[in-house]
Chains A and B, each alone.
Chain A
Amino acid sequence: MSRPRTLFEKIWDEHVVCQPAGEPALLYVDLHLVHEVTSPQAFEGLRLAGRPVRRPDLSFATVDHNVPTLAAERSIIRDPIAAQQVEALRRNCRDFGVPLFDIGSTEQGIVHVIGPELGLTRPGITIVCGDSHTSTHGAFGALAFGIGTSEVEHVLATQCLRQQRPKTLQIMVRGSLPQGVTAKDLVLGIIGRIGTDGATGYVIEYAGEAVRALSMEGRMTLCNMSIEAGARAGMVAPDETTFAYLRGRRFVPKGEVWDQAVAHWKTLPTDPGAQFDRVVEIDAASLAPAVTWGTNPGMVVPVTERVPDPQRLPSEAERGAALRALEYMGLRPGTPMQEVAVNRVFIGSCTNARLEDLRAAARVAKGHKVSAKVQAMVVPGSQAIKQAAEKEKLDQVFREAGFEWRESGCSMCLGMNPDILQPLERCASTSNRNFEGRQGARGRTHLVSPAMAAAAAIAGHFVDIRNWEYRD
Chain B
Amino acid sequence: MQAFQVHTGKVAPLDRANVDTDQIIPKQFLKRIERSGYGQFLFYDWRYLPDGKPNPEFVLNQTRYAGAGILLAGKNFGCGSSREHAPWALLDYGFRAVIAPSFADIFANNCIKNGLLPVVLDDAKVAELLAKTARVEIYQLKVDLVEREVRDDSGFVARFEMDDFKRKFLLEGLDDIGLTLKHHSAITEYEKQRRASASPAS
Interface residues of A (CB under 8 A from B): 17-18, 20, 22-24, 26, 28, 30-31, 37-38, 40-41, 44, 49, 51, 54, 57-58, 60, 65-66, 79, 81-82, 84-85, 88, 119-120, 122, 124-125, 130-132, 146-151, 153-154, 157-160, 162, 164, 166, 196-197, 200-201, 227, 230, 232, 250-254, 257-258, 260-261, 264, 296, 317, 321, 324, 414-416, 423, 433, 435-438, 441-442
Contacts and interface: CB of A to CB of B under 8 A. Distances in A.
B17 A85 contact: no
A197 B18 contact: yes
Nearest to A121: B200
Contact of A321 (B1, B18, B187): B18
Interface of B: 1, 16-18, 20, 22-23, 26-28, 30-35, 45, 50, 74-76, 79-84, 102, 104-106, 109-110, 113-114, 163-165, 168, 176-177, 179-181, 183, 186-187, 190-191, 194-201
A148 B113 contact: yes
B18 A157 contact: no
Contact of A261 (B34, B180, B197): B197
B186 A17 contact: yes
A151 B26 contact: no
A260 B197 contact: yes
A151 to B, nearest CB: 7
B114 A37 contact: no
A236 B51 CA distance: 47
Contacts of B82: 38, 130-132, 146-148
Nearest to B175: A49
A437 B22 contact: yes
B74 A317 contact: yes
Contact of B176 (A84, A154, A414): A154
10 contacts: A26-B180, A28-B190, A38-B84, A44-B33, A54-B187, A57-B199, A65-B30, A82-B31, A154-B180, A321-B17
Given A26-B186, A132-B80, A441-B45, A251 B200 contact: yes
A298 B80 CA distance: 12
Given A18-B186, A148-B82, A157-B181, 9 more contacts: A41-B33, A57-B199, A81-B32, A124-B198, A149-B84, A153-B177, A160-B183, A261-B195, A415-B27
A334 B186 CA distance: 61
Contacts of B1: 150
Q: Is the interface of A mostly helix, strand, loop or mixed?
A: loop
Given A200-B105, A257-B197, A435 B80 contact: yes
Q: Which 8 A-B residue pairings sit nearest by Cβ, starting from the closest? A: A261-B197, A150-B113, A40-B33, A148-B110, A148-B84, A251-B200, A197-B76, A149-B84
A253 to B, nearest CB: 5
A442 B50 contact: yes
A441 B50 contact: yes
A158 B79 contact: no
Contacts of A264: 195, 197
B106 A147 contact: yes
A360 to B, nearest CB: 26
Given A160-B187, A435-B20, A200 B76 contact: yes
A147 B176 CA distance: 14
A416 B200 contact: no
Contact of B109 (A60, A122, A148, A436): A148
Nearest to A87: B33
B190 to A, nearest CB: 4
Given A147-B106, A197-B75, A260-B197, A438 B22 contact: yes
A267 B74 CA distance: 43
Contacts of B197: 122, 124, 253, 257-258, 260-261, 264
A25 to B, nearest CB: 11
Contacts of B187: 17, 26, 28, 54, 158-160
Contacts of B35: 41, 44
B110 A150 contact: yes
B129 to A, nearest CB: 15
Given A17-B190, A57-B199, A120-B200, A230 B76 contact: yes
B28 A296 contact: no
A150 B102 CA distance: 22
A32 to B, nearest CB: 11
Given A254-B201, A257-B196, A321 B33 contact: no
A307 to B, nearest CB: 19
B31 A20 contact: no
Contact of B180 (A30, A44, A79, A158): A158
Contact of A66 (B31, B74, B80): B31
Contacts of A260: 196-197
A435 B78 CA distance: 12
A416 B27 contact: yes
B22 A433 contact: yes
Contacts of A296: 18, 20, 79
Nearest to B87: A148
A157 B84 CA distance: 18
